[in-house]
Structure 1
Amino acid sequence: MSRTDPADLAPLVRPGSVAIVGASADPTRIGGRPIAYMLRAAFRGAILPVNPNRAEVQGLPCYPSVAALPQAPDVAVIAVPGAAALQAVDELGARGTRFAVMFTAGFAEVDAAGAEAQGRLVATARRHGMRLLGPNCLGLFNAAAGFYPIFSASLEGGLPLPGRIGIASQSGAYGTHLFAACRARHIGTAMLVTTGNEADLSVADAIGWMAQDDDIDVIMAYAEGVQDGPAFAGALAAARRAKKPVIVMKVGRSAIGSAAAQSHTASIAGNDAIFSAVLAEHGAIRARSTEELIDIAYAATRRIYPVPNSLGVITISGGAGVLISDAAEAAGLAMPEMPAEAQARLKAILPFASPRNPVDCTAQAFNDLSLIGRFTESMIADGGYSSILAFFTQIGGAPSMAPAIRAQLNAVKARHPDRLYALSVLASDARNREYEADGYLLYEDPARAVVALDAMGRLGAGFSQPEPAAPPPGAPVRLPESTPSEAEAKRLLAAAGIATVPEAACADAEAAVAAAESFGFPVVMKILSPDILHKTEIGGVLLDVADAEAVRCGHATLLERAARHAPAARIEGVLVARQVKGAVECILGIQQDPVFGPVAMVGLGGVFVEVMRDVVFRRCPFGEDVAEAMIRSIKAAPLLTGARGRPPCDVAALARMLSRLSVLAAAAGPRLRSIDLNPVFALPEGAFAADAVIEVGEAG
């Protein structure tokens, strides 16, 4: 793991010299491919093969050992097994080599013994101040430098096309699959870095480097897990500041997938919802498939990120218009109707047109291609759409029509160069290249185009979002030695400024009656024990306790249920609380994530959290502005803001509570395992936690 300054990676991707330890004269072997690829790409630096059994390799002088090299290489490729790899790292480090690309496998991805060997490898490199890529990695390439320390067979199909996309991938095979798939779609990739086991350098380091590399505009990433959460988040933040999109494929969502990730690269898959929240926090996009990953990265190469984003559709097919409308609704991409005046003007031009949006100029376009230009111009000038999708299917590729269609579209595009244009056409490869050279995105499936165009708007929203306010300062938090009772948990919350429902801890029935009478009936009664955290499971919560006699009976009932269901539990008494009516029930919580640290959660309580899982997450700590944005982003937020004539809740008070909870969690340290405030009552004035569970780990 590392938090490398991205500038420190310059010698790795743009070296003046590279040694290949385990060099092969056979250009198809692992130790021979990097040499063959660099010779083909005319790498301008020194290539230094190392093999004690050869004097020459692929036309280059070969050296018997690292000690015999005429210079200390900037980078070394290590393609020898086991103990020889460890020796090579030691010898190269002693010579002053700054980076090693470790093809060698058989380390932490295999078993505990491999993990121990990997630890020795890292310790040896660090002793010399050398950085490692891998082990168990496929290598990297930097096309601009002609640098190919990689053994993938994908390069047999050709070197990367010119372009400004960078790929950072834990998996070498998947990373090169992405490169090859991009090349097949005529998409250029400038750089690929595969990180393997990430014993030292990680995907986060690669993203961080690409965020400040002038040769990269768009970053594609593949991750099986993240080992250093703060470094990963920092890399995403750097890319956002540079206004460079990061599109991520993260696997390991399922239990089976997570286990596969462990065996493949010894990664911690982590909580998938939290990973998505970290991406959203920094404006990165999560792709659901390889096709979607490439589609979005391809669209981002236009570097147009419309805010606000709206989709205008011109089509020659009503059916395609319906398909596109369905896709836009599923994606949440707005497709407002054309203004009524504009619709009337288009109807005057073509009475049987459908000018609402999608704008259907029908098959009449076959007879009058000027309709395409006139209708598209109206959509932009009158409709104001920031993204335009045109469905022209085969006519967009027909030799008799395509040149005129291009001319019509190009005239509109010249007048409105700030819009994002996508075409769904079926055309020859040569015709497609012409459209792309004009600046159009091409997708055979218009639904895929909708997803990509929507992503451009989300990227733009992320880039334009102001930096959040600093979280409020947090006082030092002293956690109890073990998991506290509810009353003790609420004292800890109160010290952090988190309001709770008025209540009293009562040692006997008469104290409970006195507390209830001071609050006013009805009241809530709960068993009070540090050993019974989930009280409802044993019937340890009583609602609507209406009078003094009911309090006495309730006290006895709670003690009896605790003795029956949890006979070993320590009982501190009964908690009596004011019963709140007319509130919206929410849930606020903290979870200690093994990768990203404390993470806050907010959602509506009751069925919304138990069944619908309508919750959002955010890394701690954060200010009230972020907290309010979280609250307003949940699907059921209208219940808090006055839906169906209900009085609006005090969202600001709820946000204040959530922010303070996040500050408390960050200050508490890793012994804090979780906090669960459920329910939290959101009222027209104020918000109050009615129940609190704090779980802590043992001291030390």
Structure 2
Amino acid sequence: MNEQDRRVFEGMFAPRVIALVGASSDENKHTSRPQRSLRRHGYGGKIVPINPKRDEIFGDRAYPSLLEVPDTIDHAFIMVPAAAVPEAIEQCIERGVPVATIYADGFAEAGPEGRRRQEELVARAREGGVRILGPNCSGVLSTRPSSALSVNAAIEQLDIKPGPLAVISQSGSMTGGLLSRGLGRGVGFSKVVSIGNESDLTVGEITDWLVDDPETGTILLFLETIRDAPRLASAARRAIEAGKPVIAYKLGRSAVGRSLAASHTGAMAGSAEVSDAFFRAHGILRIDNLETMFELPALLAGRRPSERHRVAVMSTTGGGAATVVDRLGSMEVEVVPPSEAVVSSLADKGIDIPRGPLTDLTHAGTRADVYGAVLDQLVASDHCDLVLAIAGSSAQFQPEISAGPLVQAGKQGKPLAAFFAPHAPEALERLSKAAVAGFRTPESCADAIRAWSQWRFPSAAPESDHAALAAVASAVAGLNGRRPNELDSAGIFAALGIPTASAIVVRESDSAADSVNEFPVVAKVLSADVPHKTDAGGVVLGIRNTDELTQAIDRIRGNVATRHPTAKIDGVLVQKMESGLAEVILGFRRDPEVGPVVVLGIGGILAELYRDIAVRIAPVGIEEARSMVAQVKGLAVVRGYRGLPLGDTEALAQAVVSMSQLADDPQAGIAEAEINPLLVLPDGEGVVAVDGLVICSPRS
């Protein structure tokens, strides 16, 4: 970090002088809590209460304003009402305070007027050289050096253990909850940040700074949304290089409250899928279970992403093991049986183990010599990349048998996880002290292993196809500001190098008999005002002759006139009737949270219903595109499933790459683009787009 960032970072986490603006002498008020919390947790610097009605608060001399404080102030914690905050910021500017945390609410979270006040406040603070944390922020915590600058009651009361975990939370109320849960599992914390409205300092910026913090080993994010995605992406990539995993728990798995985009792609790729794509692209581990946040770091400590993720499972309890293994199977984690070498080596020691995916030791596994021997063989074997040990009642009543061998095996370097079916606090404590990942529930255990199995090094962005993008820009410019219809869209896809079906346009005055000589054909309304043509009755398939075509055109015009009476109709598009082995939907859009994404899924009119999709941050290279093709389950029909004819999946992957290039459009001229369907032809014959939609951004 640069010198200015270093000054702000130290002002946040290692301030020598803290000014509490609006400090109260009433112990029942929240505004009295930061002063008590700082003292209780051993803050060694100077506390300066700011209150014009008091000369002293809780033993510290008070001042009427920041302007009267004789010391250099490193951090101003502002607790006055929203209307008084601008004046406090003006005083921070005059005194050269590097960072101000604003506890007050009533800003962007309160509506348009509050957002306007917040934007004006941030603009003035930046102009004056003051960085803002918040507003609507409960505070920050550092354990080394100690600085518990927060209104959170839990932070005041908890005995907070120093350790390697840093937390950034977009929920102020959850900061105390996260701390208490982590401390209950024996972990310690370096830094904790309530980010508030994220008006100035962002999750991405603070994550970036924590990468350089020697006290921090793992960065935990509690997210409600993603702001400043480019900075967070850059920080996460730096964190991997520094050996500091970034783990995210993000709300928004459901589609509640998310408005649909104009294309099917926007409806299909919701918040969860897009967030997953963002995390995957930048090496962030997403978890679904809150407990996992504090149990996963031990599994990742000192490790980096790997290419293989085979899991070997050993257990002394069949039922207990099933609670985890069943979940791993549903998450598509690869669970592998012991190798023949492992089976033979153990047999030489008089230990017989099953050859199935679960090495169930049953009652014999409660003997230390058996349990430890099997564990050592699995950890030493190269047929697996992680060993999961599951124990039953022995973990509770004989922790030395269940935990002891795990502590020793943890020194061998291979990722090692343990789940104890009963309540076994002593055994778990032994694992915690030895930095071995121990899990209290099957859900968090499976969640952690799934997150580990999906952890990848971020891939480099592919080079831009400048010729294709120039052709796209030319096609968009040729529209002269009007919205593209399907024929225009086909031209844009062709510019990207994606083949499209041949077609002609029948205008109002044209004769269908004079226009079309080859059948069968498809007829479709041509209008930028009718994006979903099938719903409007604007599509007729399988037209076999001129008479049928004339009737179809009349029917289409009548349907659209009834359902979209104000739509501007450019004609009827008559297209060669194409067929393929599979129909897919291929889309691109600019997500408001994470930026450009590309989406691949099963196409047709039921695309939104199936939601069988793969989503990636755009642009993608050919390997990532191939992984998308492999991810879509419905595309098994063109991957040789049960002897079915092979489709041209390589051409499909290349089409994904081409569509994703729209992310590099320097003018951001295209907001959304979709081909539905894109037909996959037999192997070696390519793909062909038979319907498409392009939505240009307002400035294009």
Q: TM-score range by the shorter chain?
A: 0.7 to 0.9
SS at match of 1:611: helix
Letter matched to residue 395 of structure 1:
S
Instruction: Say whether residues 1:575 and 2:568 are aligned partners.
Output: no
Task: Provide the rounded CA distance (Å) in 1 between the counterparts of 2:413 and 2:205.
Answer: 35
Q: In the alignment, residue 454 of structure 1 is paired with which amino acid?
A: R
Q: What is the deviation of 1:698?
A: 4.8
Please give the secondary structure, in 2, of the residue aligned with 1:628: helix
How many Å separate the matches in 2 of 1:111 and 1:552?
55
Where in structure 2 are the equivalents of 1:227-376 lying within 5 Å?
A: 227-254=227-254, 271-301=271-301, 303=303, 307-340=307-340, 342-343=342-343, 346=346, 354-366=354-366, 368-376=367-375
State the distance in 2 between where 1:347 and 1:541 align.
Answer: 69
Give 1:435's match in structure 2, choosing from 427, 431, 436.
Answer: 431
Q: Quote how far apart the aligned CAs of 1:212 are.
A: 3.1
Task: Choose from 628, 631, 634 the match for 2:632.
Answer: 634
SS at match of 2:222: strand
Kept in 2: contact 1:19–1:75 (CA 8 A): yes
* Partner residue, 1:35: 35
Please give the alpha-carbon distance, in whole angstroms, between the structure 2 residues aligned to 1:597 and 1:502. Answer: 33
Secondary structure of the equivalent of 1:390? Answer: strand
SS for the counterpart of 1:637 is helix
Q: Which residue of 2 aligns with 1:172?
A: 172
300-309 or 43-52, larger mean C-alpha shift: 300-309
Q: Which residue of 1 aligns with 2:150?
A: 150
Aligned runs of 1:282-681 on 2, under 5 Å?
282-301=282-301, 303=303, 307-340=307-340, 342-343=342-343, 346=346, 354-366=354-366, 368-382=367-381, 384-398=383-397, 401-414=398-411, 416-424=412-420, 426=422, 429-459=425-455, 462-463=456-457, 466-473=459-466, 474-475=469-470, 476=473, 478=476, 480=479, 481-507=481-507, 512-513=512-513, 516-517=516-517, 520-606=518-604, 609-664=607-662, 666-667=664-665, 669=667, 672-681=670-679
SS at match of 2:191: strand
Distance 2:272 2:389 in 1: 36
Contact 2:528 2:568 in 1 (8 A): yes
TM-score relative to the length of structure 1: 0.88
User: Can you give the 5+ residue segments of structure 1 that lack an aligned partner in the other structure?
Assistant: 260-268
Contact 1:515 1:576 in 2 (8 A): no
Q: 1:339, 1:30 → 2: CA distance? A: 61
Q: Distance in 2 between matches of 1:8 and 1:238?
A: 20
**Is the 8 Å Cα contact of residues 464 and 664 (structure 2) preserved in structure 1?**
no
Matches within 5 A, 1:109-188: 109-188=109-188
Q: CA deviation at 1:551?
A: 3.6
Counterparts in 2 of 1:420 and 1:28: CA distance versus 1, 3 Å: farther
- In the TM superposition, 1:18-29 aligns within 5 A as 18-25=18-25, 29=29
Aligned to 1:58: 58
User: Is the Cα contact below 8 Å between 1:102 and 1:137 reproduced in 2?
Assistant: yes
Query: Matches of 2:95 and 2:580 in 1, distance apart?
Result: 74
Instruction: Judge conservation of contact 1:535–1:541 (CA < 8 Å) in 2.
Output: yes
Tell me the secondary structure at the aligned position of residue 532 of structure 1.
coil
1:530 is aligned with what amino acid?
A: A
Structure 1's 551 and 607: CA in aligned 2 closer, same or farther, altered over 3 A? closer
Contact persistence 1:395–1:425 (CA under 8 A)? no
Kept after mapping to 2: 8 A contact 1:21/1:77 = yes
**Cα distance change of structure 1 residues 164 and 699 upon mapping to structure 2, 3 Å threshold:** closer
1:34, 1:150 within 8 Å by CA — same for their partners in 2?
yes
Distance apart, 1:503 and its partner CA: 1.7
Q: Which residue of 1 aligns with 2:265?
A: none
Amino acid at match of 1:467: A
Per-residue deviation at 1:425? 5.9
Write out per-residue CA displacement over residues 187-237 of structure 1, whole angstroms, 9 at most, x where no aligned residue. 111111111122212222222222332322211112222343433433333
Cα deviation for residue 101 of structure 1 reads 0.7
**Could you tell me whether the CA contact under 8 Å between 1:482 and 1:698 is conserved in 2?**
no
1:573-607 Cα deviation digits (max 9, x unpaired): 33222222233211112234333344322112137
| 8 Å CA contact 1:140, 1:191 repeated in 2 | yes
Q: Distance in 1 between matches of 2:550 and 2:421?
A: 77
Judge conservation of contact 1:283–1:458 (CA < 8 Å) in 2. Answer: no
The Cα shift of 1:483 comes to 2.0
Distance 2:511 2:239 in 1: 59
2:195–2:202 CA contact under 8 A, matched in 1: yes
Match of 1:265 in 2: none
Secondary structure of residue in 2 paired with 1:442: strand
Cα offset, 1:154, TM superposition: 0.8
Indicate the larger mover: 179-188 or 330-339. 330-339
C-alpha distance in 2 between matches for 1:220 and 1:658: 33
Instruction: Answer yes or no: is the 8 Å Cα contact 2:343–2:353 preserved in 1.
Output: no
**In structure 2, what is the Cα distance between the partners aligned to 1:184 and 1:662?**
45
Question: Which stretch of the first structure deviates more once superposed, 617-626 or 14-23?
Answer: 617-626
TM-score by structure 2 length? 0.88
Q: 1:570 to 1:444 in 2, by over 3 A?
A: closer
Contact 1:471 1:623 in 2 (8 A): no
1:160–1:190: 8 Å Cα contact kept in structure 2?
no
For 1:213, the aligned partner's letter is: D
One-letter code aligned to 1:115? R
Matched residue type, 1:436 = S
- Between 99-108 and 17-26, report the one with greater CA deviation: 17-26
User: How far apart in 2 are the matches of 1:5 and 1:471?
Assistant: 33
Q: % of aligned pairs identical?
A: 28
1:29 deviates by 3.8
For residue 508 of structure 1, report the CA deviation from its aligned partner: 6.8
C-alpha separation in 1, matches of 2:270 and 2:53: 46
Question: Paired residue for 1:202?
Answer: 202
Aligned-partner residue type, residue 395 of structure 2: G
1:326 deviates by: 0.8
3-state SS, counterpart of residue 23 of structure 2: coil
Q: How far apart are the structure 2 equivalents of 1:330 and 1:586?
A: 25
Query: What secondary structure does 1:674 align onto?
Result: strand
Mean CA deviation greater in 340-349 or 111-120: 340-349
Cα pair 1:346 1:355 within 8 Å, conserved:
no
| 1:255 shift after superposition | 6.3
The CA distance in 2 between the partners of 1:241 and 1:235, in whole Å, is: 10
The 3-state SS of whatever aligns with 1:599 is strand
CA RMSD of aligned residues (A): 3.1
Kept after mapping to 2: 8 A contact 1:624/1:656: yes
Sort the Cα spacing of 1:317 and 1:629 in 2 relative to 1 into closer, same or farther, 3 A: closer
Could you list the per-position Cα deviations for residues 324-362 of structure 1 after superposition, in whole angstroms to 9, with x for gaps in the alignment?
Answer: 321220222211112345436656766885453422222
Query: How far has the Cα of 1:392 moved from its partner?
Result: 2.3
Contact 2:403 2:427 in 1 (8 A): no
Contact 2:315 2:365 in 1 (8 A): no
Partner of 2:266: none
Q: How many Å separate the matches in 2 of 1:483 and 1:348?
A: 75
Give the 3-state SS of the residue equivalent to 2:593 in structure 1.
coil
Q: Is the contact between residue 521 and residue 546 of structure 1 (CA under 8 Å) also seen in structure 2?
A: yes
The unaligned stretches of length 5 or more in structure 2 are 260-268
Q: Output the CA distance in 1 between the equivalents of 2:585 and 2:621.
A: 18
SS of residue paired to 2:568: coil
Structure 1's 160 and 375: CA in aligned 2 closer, same or farther, altered over 3 A? same
2: CA distance, partners of 1:75 / 1:68:
15
Counterpart contact for 2:233–2:282, Cα < 8 Å: yes
